[in-house]
Amino acid sequence: MASKAPNTPPANDYGERSIRVLKGLEPVKQRPGMYTRTDNPLHIIQEVLDNAADEALAGYGKKIRVTLHLDGSVSVEDDGRGIPFGLHPEEKAPVVELVFTRLHAGGKFDKGKGGAYSFSGGLHGVGVSVTNALSTRMEVSTHREGQVAHLVFAGGDVIEPLTVRPLAGGERKQGTTVRAWPDAKYFESSHLPMNELTHLLRSKAVLMPGVAVTLFNEKTRESTTWQYKGGLRDYLQQTLPVDPVIPLFEGAGYADAGHDSFAEGEGAAWAVAFTEEGASVRESYVNLIPTSAGGTHDSGLRDGLFQAVKGFIELHGLLPKGVKLMPEDVFARASYVLSAKVLDPQFQGQIKERLNSRDAVRLVSSFVRPALELWLHQHVDYGKKLAELAIKAAQTRQRAGQKVEKKKGSGVAVLPGKLTDCESRDIAYNEVFLVEGDSAGGSAKMGRDKETQAILPLRGKVLNTWEVERDRLFANTEVHDISVAIGVDPHGPQDAPDLSGLRYGKICILSDADVDGSHIQVLLLTLFFRHFPRLIEAGHIYVARPPLFRVDIPARGKKPAAKVYALDEAELSAILDKAVKDGVAREKCQISRFKGLGEMNAEQLWETTLNPDTRRLLPVQLGVAGYEATAALMTRLMGKGEAGSRRELMELHGDAVDVDI
């Protein structure tokens, strides 16, 4: 076996030579994802567009033209001041060359010190140099001071050095044209997403009222120009999918020279719309850069809106007891376009999708809040509509926060402890009796058919669930137990609930035959009609009818003594009449009245109410009135605020009711 030569460096040797210094634009080519979006070349074109927009923002340009060429290149042309092309005093190279080849060279660093751009989206100075690095070719022409300078790059390197010549007669006086051929190898797709591009160009026009932004496609020969005289308001109105509840709230505020917290010119312009439904439109910009992920300026708008609306609600005493207003309640239905101007914006990530500048919250809020407060006090009716929208959102949020989940076991439904289940699992035969009270429940357990009949005793009166939100139902033990026992979750009339878990073919309400029993019956029917309507529709709900009277008839002739049960007074009369016909005097018949199911022994309960051969079971179905009419009647009968309607019903039909005292 050959021995290893001494002093041979190991394969993973790490020394001075291992350290590589990336120069010029090499870092961008090595890790393009650190500097731009690599799904398509839109962002590197946006860097060029942002420079043109910065010129317009600074007040030096009125036109921006973007051309999609047949060869896949894109050119951006503006009528700004043109990039300087003289030699840089320190770098001894043409300034225009430095802008496109050095990662941290630009005119946007000297903010607030008489720099060329007081407000701009450019911050890091890596913008167009990234575009240059990731393009196979880039041509730059700059018109300035009666001259035109031209130079060409390939992969970020100069291949045609700067040439300067005097402007010809018909040429424009000033401006810059940049034409780039994005290098497909750096992008997942070399195609520009047209929807995003048009949205971007349109938004630039929105944010710079009066500036014309044009897109020309050489392939289709189509040309589109956007120019918004009305700015943010026009744009938001055209973009909103539905009509707002109140008129658009728009405004703008900028710091003056003497402001103690912010630099001169810092501030924001905004347009806000409130809608009851539909998708929200939410767009924010900082110095014309679209911040798709929002940021601190959005938070400032939210804070300003919230503080103003909250103050208005408190002033007019509109907040219901127990409701706590949160910023999201006001913001939930807001659509907006926000354009902030920040002197030295700090962004998250090189593609500037989110603003991180902490002061921007206070900056935007300090202008939005007083403007909205003034507007609300000038338009009190609109203010009240907005307050109503916010309070409604708060109530919905609070209800959702109070949602009570069904208790879960270890993957298996944990049946209520008080449920006495049946042995069969065939829902064609299985029945569950919801029995009023424990004593009746005890008799029912003893008298039932264990094979097919289950008993669930209910303690006291069930909750009136007519106005209880579905998410709050499980806070009530009885309702929770009923839902778990039957194996179906609460649902609405339009829902398609999962009935595959249904454990019983018949769900029978079994209560006393008196007034209290009838009340419990109504409460349970309310629960099923409101929260389990599909069970009624599918014919699974029944009402068991226990007797109110027992008649002991003595022996007569060959007929032995008999015990006969009557559901009500009418049946009792019929039984007594028949006994008289059979020759038994009425006074010899012994009549007992059941005060409740608890008075019946197990045998009697089986015989009268549980035995399928002798019981009376009433199927519950929707009547001819249909769902809507029934729901309206139930609201009158069971609604909390319907006492007046109930009184009216009593006055109309009170004579037809037999009062059981």
Catalytically annotated residues: 436, 512, 514, 516
Burial class for 503, CB neighbours closer than 10 Å (0-12, 13-18, 19+): buried
336 among annotated binding-site residues: no
Whole-angstrom distance, CA of residue 102 vs CA of residue 650: 88
Whole-angstrom distance, CA of residue 646 vs CA of residue 280: 42
| 3-state SS, residue 382 | helix
The 3-class secondary structure across 92-110, one letter per residue, is CCEHHHHHHHCCCCCCCCC
CB 534 within 8 A of CB 500: no
Whole-angstrom distance, CA of residue 481 vs CA of residue 473: 11
Whole-angstrom distance, CA of residue 462 vs CA of residue 484: 15
Closest CA to 450 of 420, 426, 482: 420
Q: From the DSSP assignment, how many helices (H) and strands (E) are in the chain?
A: 18, 23
473 among annotated binding-site residues: no
128 among annotated binding-site residues: yes
Whole-angstrom distance, CA of residue 518 vs CA of residue 496: 30
51 among annotated binding-site residues: yes
Structure-block tokens of residue 27: 């870092």
124 among annotated binding-site residues: yes
437 Rama sector, left if φ>0, alpha if ψ -120 to 50, beta otherwise: left
CB 365 within 8 A of CB 436: no
Whole-angstrom distance, CA of residue 521 vs CA of residue 544: 10
217 among annotated binding-site residues: no
445 among annotated binding-site residues: no
* Residue reference for tokens 């449920």: 419
304 among annotated binding-site residues: no
The radius of gyration of the chain's CA atoms, rounded to the nearest angstrom, is: 40
Structure-block tokens of residue 661: 């005292």
CB 524 within 8 A of CB 509: yes
112 among annotated binding-site residues: no
Annotated binding site for ATP: 14, 51, 78, 122-128, 352
